[in-house]
A and B are shown apart, each in its own frame.
Chain A
């Protein structure tokens, strides 16, 4: 059926949209799926890895009780986590993608495809951002929570895991949702290493007919739909959490 459509003249904007959608639907669908995959894996993986960074960063040194080795391990953990976050937040993801993809490609690992590299980079990048989100979530927890846990006999580590992290993560969920929205849009830069995301798919769809504006108009609408619905969900979540907060001040 697609073959029946022929390329409309240049001034026929809407016919061109229709033509592109029909002719290249498989491109767009594949692009959408890859963009969603990158965003979902990046946000979920970034969340999990950010917990590791959070654990490293929230260790504190007890100068009276910790052994010298423990103090050094804690310090090294701090330095690692802080440098990781500085580097990944301080450089563009497009640059990170170039370095990782072309840096690891010479090893000739059969599984090191653009998509795998893209998933890898977006995950590492998101890790740094979500770690900052969770950090501010932890800062927002009243210090009485930790004191109550310690007074019952929980160690500092167990107090963090049982009392502080769960509350900080819950409070951070809307901000983590926003990271997902950012990822939906920003994974477009991964097309630079050849990931067939929505951006790259649109490029491919317009490469032979040069209807770039119409093609990317379609891409914009698709991006907008994805981000709009996600942000609606995030807003719902925020409202739900505000309600429970209001109750607690009643």
Chain B
């Protein structure tokens, strides 16, 4: 097996009374594209947000390149620099221009000079097809454009893994394609990715592994071929059936 990038061991997460994650075990390997599917409330977004501790699990361990994120002595900020995250609602910095959004972290965290950062940002924005828009304000971009800039912003930190939290759920249908295209390109380049998505066709096409979650646990895990064509679990079958009929 190739290197393990993320090793999640028995994490639990409660919101008040409700058990959102109930003992999750999961490994993500180098260059693996792993998609998490499941109905709303299954805990898939919470699981993804636990991977960089935006949500802190109540117990369990998350090893990222050998360091336990749950250890209080771990320098979380340092480790987060190596994990890119893309949000459903883009979360671009509204007071900065397109290119400044991408330049900020390389300048402040990687200590790049402005010129180096500008070069890096231009390269990443070109990669996501946004080179024409580098001086636009965030408010002037469409949803799909914002999301592509958000991907470039995460890529500029040269992450070891990219986390996508429903990256197309807030987009108008005609803009979904351009964002999925960028993610596909990353997959082909060997980027390690964990993707929470409702785009089943996309998940099937791009993923090495599919994880189906239900009620806070991983119900079934396997290759896209197995999960989509020959699911073993009743709950997986029921979920996919609903999806196909919608």
Contact = CB atoms under 8 A, between A and B. Distances in A.
A105 B85 CA distance: 59
A142 B138 CA distance: 15
B67 interface: no
Query: Which of A147, A148, A149 counts the most chain B CB atoms within 10 A?
Result: A148
B139 A247 contact: yes
Nearest to A62: B72
Given A152-B157, A153-B81, A154-B105, A248 B89 contact: no
A62 to B, nearest CB: 9
Contacts of A162: 104, 108
A153 B91 contact: no
Name which of B81, B92, B93 has the most chain A CB atoms within 10 A of its CB. Answer: B93
Among A147, A248, A250, the most chain B Cβ lie within 10 Å of the Cβ of: A147
Contacts of B95: 163, 166-167, 170
A144 interface: yes
B21 interface: no
Interface string B165-199: 00000000000000000000000000000000000
A151 interface: yes
A158 interface: yes
Given A153-B80, A154-B77, A148 B91 contact: yes
B220 interface: no
Interface of B: 52, 54, 56, 72, 77-85, 87, 89-95, 104-105, 108-109, 137-140, 150, 153-154, 157, 163
Given A64-B56, A151-B83, 18 more contacts: A64-B72, A144-B89, A144-B90, A145-B94, A147-B54, A148-B92, A148-B153, A150-B80, A151-B154, A152-B104, A152-B154, A153-B77, A153-B79, A153-B105, A154-B108, A244-B137, A247-B139, A247-B140
